[in-house]
Chain A
């Protein structure tokens, strides 16, 4: 363990990371956002899920530094009287959870399909890739509308709130797996022509083992890179779905549903309900994307701009 730590400290990975101010800044930003989201119950002054604590009389309180600001509500309150700062922390937690969960699901489906498609027979490849094409031609909104209708019918609108998170993970995971499948397939096709695969066959290994142990680890570089980008995309998709009313319910807001709930009050002067969650969303997605960019540059030496 200590040896591993020492190796990491001397690694080129760390060295090149520390030399890139953009990467360090975005990493720091991401860590701050993610940890405050994960530790929301500790940091947040109020619990936005607890209806008993919310007083409608506090609705639309402006931020602290504006006239009429209340010291209890740092960033003001929304139209229900919820503390916006707390709601943002909890909402970011939901957004991150859905983002990471959906990407994990995309990765599971996509990597399996990509491996089979790249290493299997031509026929299997054709079938799987056509399925992927069909899947891509559904936008995630269409998937969400269809599945949403089915889920709300089976669970009832009242209980939808409890299944909303796994539902969104499923929707975004289903809608986006072909991205993974294509990336993995492309690198499997490149890898399987290499001699070490031939050597593995000559050694007498079973096809599944060659696929899993020899080819998959060699395709993980692009997978790592698209994973970061996909987390950012999934968070955006979730926000968009929630904004359209297809995602998280207002009682358990995510960043997207916070933006939505403030949208109606935007022109009546309560700009903070939409603005603050929006800014946090942008910062979150931006930091993840910038980290992904740096990772791509680092892992692909051909892109080095001296």
Chain B
């Protein structure tokens, strides 16, 4: 069966005065209908840019330099503006990090919802309002009729993110891209929002791309996980990471600090004070990516081959993908 979304060797560059920096380099993944994928990486690893480039909305000076994004059989990197507008917000919706910022402060929630529906469906205002009310109920907003006439500042942070999710649901999309949807919320609300997203994806059979740097969240919600250097099923990636970068990420979590390859399920009681493992250094600057494997100067397994040849994303022994010379 044809996958819902097939991203292959997607490359996004940012044009500078005389050079172009590569922000997303050769990213590939697929997503079937109703499947949930976690996209994980450090700040600046290109997660959000990947998300935007799926919608072909990389803002200048960025541009898609290569690869393809096949969504329901259509290549979005080559689609015209009309097709793209038809897909954006209609077949694919996006949820952003900060619900304070994504709602227009001077328009009522109802106006914004109705506008979204009417941009994609030929319905009357009354019908659009009915759809909006229905979706607000789905995200558990109490007394939605009254809430429709209110402005974003009259909602709390968690409520606002629910509204944003409701807006994303309006046109019953088949894919939702959630770009760190809970980063701006406090921890108890985070769990609520993630549960809500999970529940909605399951009940509406929607695909989800969850962009985050929180492996804990990813392991609860998703079925597949793509770390910026590797990819596989959530359970096996978190349970027995292959790529040294993924191992490093997991090792940095407090509950796994004693064993670099522990699963997240085994939450150990906090031990005596000790330092967390960390991945040394930080992301290389885009203008100064090392030769060979871009992770080589921070990797414990680094050998000569890593400094000369860039590893490709390839199938390893148990069917997972990783871009690393050192793991089999």
By beta carbon, the residue of chain B nearest A218 is B106
* A203-B119 contact, Cβ under 8 Å, with A217-B106, A217-B107, A218-B106: yes
New contact pairs (13) apart from A199-B94, A214-B107, A217-B106, CB-CB < 8 Å: A196-B104, A196-B105, A198-B59, A198-B96, A198-B102, A201-B88, A202-B89, A202-B94, A204-B84, A204-B89, A205-B119, A217-B104, A218-B106
Known: A217-B106, A218-B104. A199 touches B120 (CB 8 A): no
Contact of B103 among A196, A201, A209 (CB under 8 A): A196
**Could you tell me the distance between the alpha carbons of A249 and B57 in the complex, rounded to whole angstroms?**
58
Complex contacts, B115 vs chain A, CB 8 Å: 205, 213
Which B residues are CB-close (under 8 A) to A209?
Answer: 119
**Which A residues between 255 and 295 are near B, CB-CB below 8 angstroms?**
none
A205 to B104, CA, bound (A): 14
Instruction: Among B90, B98, B107, point to the contact of A204 (Cβ < 8 A).
Output: B90
Q: Does B78 contact A (CB under 8 A)?
A: no
Give complex CA distance A217, B112 in Å.
13
- B103 CB contacts on chain A under 8 angstroms: 196, 199
From B89, B93, B97, B105, contact of A218 by CB (8 A): B105
Task: Report the number of A-B residue pairs with Cβ-Cβ less than 8 Å.
Answer: 61
B85 contacts chain A at the CB level, 8 A cutoff: yes
B87 within 8 A of A: yes
Given contacts A195-B96, A213-B107, A213-B115, contact A203 B101 (CB under 8 A): no
Q: Scan residues 34-62 of chain B and give those whose CB is less than 8 A from a CB of chain A.
A: 55, 57, 59
Whether B148 sits at the interface, judged by CB under 8 Å, is no
Task: Tell whether B127 is near chain A: CB-to-CB under 8 Å.
Answer: no
Q: Report the separation of the CA atoms of residues A194 and B89 in the bound assembly, to the nearest whole angstrom.
A: 18
- Whether, in the assembled complex, A206 has its beta carbon less than 8 Å from a beta carbon of chain B, the answer is yes
Q: Are B101 and A195 within 8 A (Cβ)?
A: yes
CB neighbours of A204 from chain B (8 A): 84-90, 119-120
Q: Which residues does B use to contact A, with CB under 8 Å?
A: 55, 57, 59, 84-90, 93-94, 96-98, 101-107, 115-116, 119-120, 164, 167
Q: Determine the main DSSP class of A at the interface with B.
A: helix
Are A195 and B102 in touch, CB under 8 angstroms?
Answer: yes
- In the complex, whether A22 has a CB less than 8 A from a CB of chain B is no
**Does A203 lie within 8 Å of B88, measured CB to CB?**
yes
* B55 engages A202 (CB within 8 Å): yes
- In contact, B96 and A199 (Cβ under 8 angstroms): yes
Quick check: is A108 within 8 A (CB to CB) of the other chain?
no
28 residue pairs bridging A and B, Cβ less than 8 Å apart: A195-B97, A195-B101, A196-B104, A196-B105, A198-B59, A198-B96, A198-B102, A199-B96, A199-B102, A201-B88, A202-B88, A202-B89, A202-B94, A203-B89, A203-B93, A203-B116, A203-B119, A204-B84, A204-B88, A205-B89, A205-B115, A209-B119, A214-B104, A214-B107, A217-B104, A217-B107, A218-B104, A218-B106
A203 to B119, CA, bound (A): 8
CB-defined contacts of B90 to chain A, threshold 8 Å: 204
Name the residue in A194, A195, A202 with the highest tally of chain B Cβ atoms < 10 Å from its Cβ.
A202
Q: Which 6 A-B pairs have the closest CB atoms?
A: A203-B89, A204-B88, A195-B101, A204-B89, A217-B106, A199-B102
What separation, in Å, do the CA atoms of A194 and B55 have in the docked complex?
A: 18
* Chain A contacts for B98, CB-based, 8 A: 195
Q: Which A residues lie within 8 Å of B167 (CB)?
A: 203
A272 to chain B, nearest CB (A): 50
Answer whether residue A31 sits at the interface, using C-beta atoms and an 8 A cutoff.
no
Q: Compute how far the CA of A196 lies from the CA of B57 in the bound complex, rounded to whole angstroms.
A: 14
A244 at the interface (CB under 8 A from B): no
Residues from chain A with Cβ under 8 Å of B86 in the complex: 204
A contact residues around B87 at 8 Å (CB):
204
A124 at the interface (CB under 8 A from B): no
Interface residue? A150 (CB, 8 A):
no
